[in-house]
């Protein structure tokens, strides 16, 4: 029976990609081995990571939606279209009807390992300028006792006596069509054609063991939230000491107190008093690159946008950098003392703004036109 990966993350099947990401982040923060040393939490973290990988990879998600399990190996109805009865496909059925027997041969004991996924949290400046992070990962690694062979020191695998090394056993039945020969996977060697008489004491014959190790991850400048960094061959070692899969490091960018990010551009807000906006000034603005002078021209209005070129994030797959976009908010004073109020009134009088024009005349004209339309004028 296929694993309910939505249930592992505590989600309904109609959950969106954003719901899946939020559920994984929440569980990973509580269950990660660096935070929770409980062995049960470690197993649960592996289940959660596997579920997240199954639901975020488009091909694996398609298999899940069809009711399958993307991590299951082997044949079956999902692999070749014909399930059960030991038949591997149309060729097996035809050979059975006409008295033949298809020999698929033993499958290798050594198989490739799975990919692994681990999240990493970065500050904004680390994502913008790049960094090197030391990560602790818990994956299957090659057994150092048997070097992946799965056998105890001084011993070797032997040919399976049940199937004589073929990896499958055959049975003969008689039907109205004549003699029918069917094949099925050998139950003794699980289709490998060999058995391990004395398994390695450390890995129990699997050729790999779980171990915690430290690796360095080079984060390139300009990575964004949700991107994955691929580390080839750093994933799970396969059964029988098979080649390791890849390790994917998924970037999660922490929110910044000042800047927000939109692709390669950074955004921030500055507030100006009314007088500075009217007269103009120069601000010392703290950016990710250090302090920069921001020139405010006289008469700057609230909502104005100023741009500092090439002060954003580097373009990940191109040259150059984005911009720092500064949004200006002009603040009107709410409390004035007597002298300040007197000076503002004098300024208003000088500018002819002490008695602002109303729109009463315009409104009267509008109402007059509506009235005339009703009376047919």
pLDDT of residue 15: 87
pLDDT in tens, 147-170: 999 999 999 999 999 998 989 988
Q: How far apart are CA 59 and CA 257, in angstroms?
A: 38
- The number of CA neighbours under 13 Å toward the Cβ of 215 is 20
Contact present, 52 and 17 (Cβ < 8 Å): no
pLDDT of residue 175: 60
Q: Which of 44-48, 319-323, 357-361, 365-369 has the lowest mean pLDDT?
A: 365-369
Q: Which of the residue ranges 26-35, 39-48, 61-70, 244-253 has the most confident prediction, judged by mean pLDDT? A: 244-253
Own/partner contacts of 313-320, CB < 8 Å, gap of 24 or more, are 313/127, 313/128, 313/221, 313/222, 313/224, 313/261, 313/263, 313/264, 313/265, 313/266, 314/128, 314/129, 314/221, 314/222, 314/264, 315/222, 315/264, 316/220, 316/221, 316/222, 316/223, 316/224
Q: How far apart are CA 61 and CA 51, in angstroms?
A: 10
Q: How far apart are CA 316 and CA 91, in angstroms?
A: 51
pLDDT of residue 100: 42
pLDDT of residue 41: 81
Contact present, 265 and 322 (Cβ < 8 Å): yes
Residue 185 φ/ψ region, left for φ over 0, alpha for ψ in the -120 to 50 degree band, beta for the rest: beta
Q: What rounded mean pLDDT belongs to the chain? A: 83
pLDDT in tens, 186-219: 999 989 999 999 999 999 999 999 999 999 999 9
CA dihedral 130, 132, 138, 139 (to 10 degrees): 80
DSSP 190-201: TTSSEE-SSB-T
Helices H / strands E in the chain, number of each: 10, 15
CA dihedral 364, 365, 369, 370 (to 10 degrees): -30
- What is the mean predicted confidence (pLDDT) over 238-252? 94
- What is the mean predicted confidence (pLDDT) over 20-25? 87
Q: From the centroid of its chain, how far is CA 352?
A: 60
pLDDT in tens, 105-153: 688 888 899 999 999 999 999 999 999 999 999 999 999 999 999 999 9
Q: Which of 58-62, 336-340, 346-350 has the lowest mean pLDDT?
A: 58-62
Nearest to 4 by CA among 296, 12, 204, 291: 12
Q: How far apart are CA 322 and CA 263, in angstroms?
A: 8
pLDDT of residue 143: 94
Higher pLDDT, 251 or 61: 251
pLDDT of residue 88: 39
pLDDT of residue 177: 56
55 token code pair = 């639901």
Paired residues of 169 in beta bridges: 184
pLDDT of residue 255: 95
DSSP 230-266: EETT-SPPBGGGBPP--EEEEEEEPPPSS-EEETTEE
289 token code pair = 């690159």
205 token code pair = 């014959």
pLDDT of residue 84: 36
Higher pLDDT, 39 or 350: 350
């Amino acid at each position: 029976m296929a694993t309910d990966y939505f249930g592992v993350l505590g989600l309904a099947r109609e959950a969106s990609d954003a719901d899946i990401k939020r559920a994984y982040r929440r569980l990973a923060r509580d269950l990660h081995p660096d935070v929770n040393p409980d062995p049960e939490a470690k197993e649960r973290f592996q289940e959660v990571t596997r579920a997240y990988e199954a639901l975020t990879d488009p091909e694996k998600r398609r298999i899940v939606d069809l009711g399958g399990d993307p991590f299951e190996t082997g044949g079956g109805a999902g692999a070749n279209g014909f399930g059960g009865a030991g038949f591997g496909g149309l060729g097996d059925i035809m050979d059975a009807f006409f008295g033949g027997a298809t020999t698929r041969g033993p499958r290798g004991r050594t198989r490739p390992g799975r990919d692994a996924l681990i999240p990493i949290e970065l500050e904004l400046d680390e994502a913008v300028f790049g960094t090197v992070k030391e990560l602790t990962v818990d994956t299957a690694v090659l057994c150092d006792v048997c070097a992946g062979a799965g056998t105890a020191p001084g011993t070797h695998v032997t040919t399976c006596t049940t199937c004589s090394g073929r990896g499958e056993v055959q049975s003969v039945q008689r039907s109205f069509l004549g003699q029918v020969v069917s094949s099925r996977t050998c139950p003794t060697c699980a289709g490998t054609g060999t058995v391990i008489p004395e398994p390695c004491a450390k890995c129990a014959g699997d050729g790999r063991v779980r171990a915690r190790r430290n690796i360095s991850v080079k984060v390139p400048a300009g990575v964004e939230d949700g991107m994955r960094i691929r580390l080839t061959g750093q994933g799970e070692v396969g059964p029988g000491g098979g080649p390791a899969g890849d390790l994917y490091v998924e970037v999660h960018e922490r929110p910044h107190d000042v800047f927000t990010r939109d692709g390669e551009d950074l955004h921030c807000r500055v507030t100006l008093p009314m007088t500075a906006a009217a007269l103009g000034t120069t601000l010392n603005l703290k950016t990710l690159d250090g302090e920069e002078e921001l020139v405010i021209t006289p008469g700057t209005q609230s909502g104005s946008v100023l741009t500092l070129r090439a002060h954003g994030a580097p373009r990940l797959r191109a040259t150059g950098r984005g911009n720092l976009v500064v949004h200006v908010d002009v603040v009107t004073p709410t409390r004035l003392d007597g002298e300040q109020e007197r000076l503002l009134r004098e300024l208003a009088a000088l500018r002819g703004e002490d008695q602002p024009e109303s729109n009463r005349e315009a409104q009267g004209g509008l109402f007059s036109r509506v009235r005339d339309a009703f009376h047919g004028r």
